[in-house]
Amino acid sequence: MKRVYAKEELCLNCRLCEVYCKTAHSHSKDIVTAYKKEEPAPSARLRVSGDNHLSVAINCRHCENPKCVEACITGAMTKDKATGIVYVNESKCIGCMSCLAVCPFGCIQTGSFAVKCDLCRETGEPACVKNCPNRALVYTALGGEQE
Amino acid sequence: MKYCIIGASAAGLACAESIRQADKSGEITVFTKESSLPYSRPSISYYLKGAVGSTEMLLHPAAYYRAKGITILTDTAVTAIDREHKVLRAGRKSYPYDKLCLCTGSKPFVPPVKNAAGKANALTFLEIATVKKIKAKAGKNTRAVVIGAGLIGMKAAEGLSKICKSVDVVELAEFILPSILDKSAAKLVKAHVEASSNIRFHLGNTVAEAKSKGTHITGVRLGSGEELPCDLLVLAVGVRPETSLAEAAGLAVERGIVTDAATMQTDDSDIYAAGDCALSLDMLDSQKKIIALWGNAVKQGKTAGFHMAGAPQQAGGAYAVNAIDFFGCRICTCGLIHADAAPYTSKVQQAGGSYKKLVFCGEHLVGFVLVGASDNAGIYTSLIENQVDITTLQGDLMDTPHIFLFEKAVRQQRLKGEESA
Ligand SMILES: Cc1cc2nc3c(=O)[nH]c(=O)nc-3n(C[C@H](O)[C@H](O)[C@H](O)COP(=O)(O)OP(=O)(O)OC[C@H]3O[C@@H](n4cnc5c(N)ncnc54)[C@H](O)[C@@H]3O)c2cc1C
Ligand code: SF4
Ligand code: SF4
């Protein structure tokens, strides 16, 4: 399946991926409204780790055998058979964060439900990749080896 | 091939799904004495407080099982296993099996409380059917008493707190959540719960006797002599493995059903056991114990299912990992947390409302307790599960764990989605 691969050599720590991710997962889809007005406040599904010296964007690997799905105590976290996308059914999720406790890569964030990357499954085009100014994020099926 | 599974919860369902993945045509029958299709047992307290409805609690809709060819027989208690003829009895009905898995889970451990047995408002906290009764009895004038401040008691108290006037929790131990917290963390969580709710604790105490009027409990007397009014008594001291069928059938049973950890096979090669009813082998201290947690039940159910269908997969090691939230106080724990004496060492960091304890055995992380500090906790879990030599890591492990703990080659692998060993 196609995944988002991050390259630390190219990451500028500008965090634009976070900004566009948060906007893409907002109600309004408008940057200013998403950041200043929306209730409940939307959150970015990926996070840049590190500092100006060395940084990289961390987002879900949509694992083949996802530990988060195995650990989910409600059936809210599932891997879509057809697309391979691992995502949360927000109406089932109780926000216990059992999934966060086992994701080996630190890809889940706390909230009233588990907050994680869904590969922008509604639009089919990850907003982080589209808006990274330095191509530090690529969306490919090739394991990130190739641009 | 006829597969039978007793118990349709975490382990039973994972077992059925794994069998179906490996064997497209075998007949799969799952028995449950409950009336509901498989549901999220840990969600019953969320149902009680109204955070989820009974439909959302179902793990799958009925159509899912039809599509998978998995038959779930609800309201069907298996009463005996006839190993000689390889047949299950459920009342007067018989069901032949080729491969059988026992996923009978836990039963409530009911503490002896004088005058409480059989009373209409004394209930356990394990099944959705009982929780529906609790929900029907609880209201804004209800004064509830919960016996037990373990995981289940605390969840019951939290669920009740939202809908009752008061909740008194009585616990024999000196601190709350003794199986997942150490003393300092427990103190912190207790203070938070008391400050954020109508829950009051009576620690180092017991309920000695219930006062009643007819079939109704009206109050309780504690071991300390104190008396509390009580309109609803929830018995949540703990659970024990449900092993009665296995024992009656002559299978090896210690604290739980004895299995081979790599296959979940019992001492009868056609019978397997998985989940809360089975003994686990903790990979961190090599002790056989009951790890009564959802994720562990799922893992064991999968291991059993694939093996039953003749498509064995490598089983990962067992260990405890748990996450919960009480009134905004997030708790996340894993592995060995009470390991305070040699060969174990620990590091503690406490600041404001947060607490972090990491437990080490030599160069390996073997456990953690995180209160209000769960960010990226899964990275710690991964260090524990893969027994990573922590001297190969860069930076301070007490900080929020992140990818730059790892050297470049490992980072590159992790960015691709490969955990390093
Ligand atoms: C209130 C509560 C909160 C919890 N919270 C958490 C949590 O946050 N995280 C976590 O990891 N775990 C939690 N747990 C524990 C978790 O629910 C269990 O570990 C898990 O359900 C075990 O699954 P299982 O399949 O082994 O057995 P169970 O879920 O116990 O299911 C066993 C099933 O078998 C049926 N059965 C037994 N005998 C027979 C028979 N003879 N015939 C037919 N059917 C039979 C039972 O009726 C039951 O339906 C919680 C438990 C409770 C009660
Ligand atoms: S959240 Fe973590 S465990 Fe789950 S699929 Fe993504 S990377 Fe894998
Ligand atoms: S937080 Fe939600 S998705 Fe994660 S384990 Fe709990 S119920 Fe499942």
Instruction: Go through the domains of chain B in sequence order and give each one's CATH number.
Output: 2-105+242-308 (3.50.50.60), 108-238 (3.50.50.60), 328-416 (3.30.390.30)
Distance of residue A89 Cα from the nearest chain B Cα, in angstroms: 10
- The count of structural domains within chain A is 2
Is residue A145 one of the residues assigned to a domain?
no
Same domain, A52 and A121: yes
Same domain? For A109 and A71 the reply is: yes
In angstroms, the CA B110 to CA B58 distance is 27
Q: Residue A6: give its domain's CATH number.
A: 3.30.70
How far apart CA B258 and CA B220 sit, in angstroms, is 39
Express each pLDDT in B373-420 by its tens digit: 999 999 999 999 999 999 999 999 999 999 999 999 999 999 999 986
Q: Which ligand is nearest to the CA of B324?
A: 1
Look at residue A110 and tell me if it is in a domain. yes
pLDDT of residue B339: 85
- pLDDT at res. B420: 66
Residue at A36 is within a domain:
yes
**Does residue A30 form part of some domain?**
yes
pLDDT of residue A145: 59
Partner-chain contact B374 A97, CB within 8 Å: yes
Range of the domain at A54: 1-59+117-139
For residue B260, how far is its CA from the centre of ligand 3 (angstroms)? 30
What average pLDDT does the segment B84-95 reach?
Answer: 97
Does residue A39 share a domain with residue A4?
yes
Q: Which parts of B53-140 fold into alpha helices (H)?
A: 54-57, 62-68, 128-137
Averaged pLDDT, A62-82:
96
Reading phi first (left if > 0) and then psi (alpha if -120 to 50, else beta), residue B238 is in left
Residue B342, φ and ψ in degrees, nearest 5: -55, 145
Are residues A126 and A86 part of one domain?
A: no
Residues A91-146 pLDDT 10s: 999 999 999 999 999 999 999 999 999 999 999 899 999 999 999 999 999 776 55
Rounded-to-integer distance, Cα B23 and Cα B310, Å = 8
pLDDT digits (tens, 9 = 90+) for B4-44: 999 999 999 999 999 999 999 999 999 999 999 999 999 99
Minimum-distance ligand 3 atom for the alpha carbon of A114: 1
- Chain A CB contacts of B332 under 8 Å are 97, 100-101
Residues A134 and A97 in one domain: no
Please indicate, yes or no, whether residues A34 and A103 belong to a single structural domain of this protein: no
Residue at A51 is within a domain: yes
Please check whether residue A110 is in contact with residue B375, taking contact to mean a CB–CB distance below 8 angstroms. Answer: yes
pLDDT computed for residue B352 by the predictor: 85
Cα gap A79→B235, rounded to integer Å: 37
Residue A28 domain flag: yes
Give the amino acid at B339.
A
Q: Who's near B128: CB < 8 A, 6+ residues apart?
A: B34, B36, B39, B41, B44, B47, B54, B57
Q: Residues A74, A101: one domain?
A: yes
Provide the residue type at B228 as one letter: L
Contact between A95 and B60 using a beta-carbon 8 Å cutoff: no
Could you tell me if A53 and A89 lie in one domain? no
pLDDT average, residue stretch B130-148: 97
Decide if A146 is inside a domain. no
Q: What is the pLDDT of residues B63-78, one digit of tens each?
A: 999 999 999 999 999 9
Mean pLDDT value of segment B244-257: 98
Is A144 among the domain residues? no
pLDDT at position A67 over 60: yes
* Average pLDDT value for chain B: 96
Closest-CA residue in chain B for A6? B415
Give residue-wise pLDDT tens across range B320-363. Answer: 999 999 999 999 999 999 988 999 999 999 998 899 999 999 99
Closest C-alpha to ligand 1, atom 20:
B294
* Confidence band, pLDDT 50/70/90 cuts, at residue B305: very high
CATH number at residue A81: 3.30.70.20
A125 and A72 share one domain:
no
On whether both A122 and A55 belong to a single domain, the answer is yes
CA of B419 to the centre of ligand 2 (A): 11
Residues A80 and A36 in one domain: no
Distance (Å) from CA B9 to ligand 1 centroid: 6
Burial of A54 (0-12, 13-18, 19+ CB in 10 A): middle
Distance CA B316, CA B328 (A): 32
Asked if residue A128 and residue A111 are part of one domain, the reply reads no
- Taking chain A, what is the end-to-end CA distance rounded to the nearest angstrom? 16
- Determine the pLDDT at residue B340: 82
Task: State which residue of chain B sits closest to A107, comparing Cα positions.
Answer: B376
Write the residue in B57, B377, B402 that is nearest to A49 by C-beta.
B402
Closest chain B residue to the Cα of A102, Cα to Cα? B378
Give tens-digit pLDDT for B262-301.
999 999 999 999 999 999 999 999 999 999 999 999 999 9
Q: What pLDDT score was predicted for residue A144?
A: 62
**Which percentage of chain B shows pLDDT scores above 70?**
100
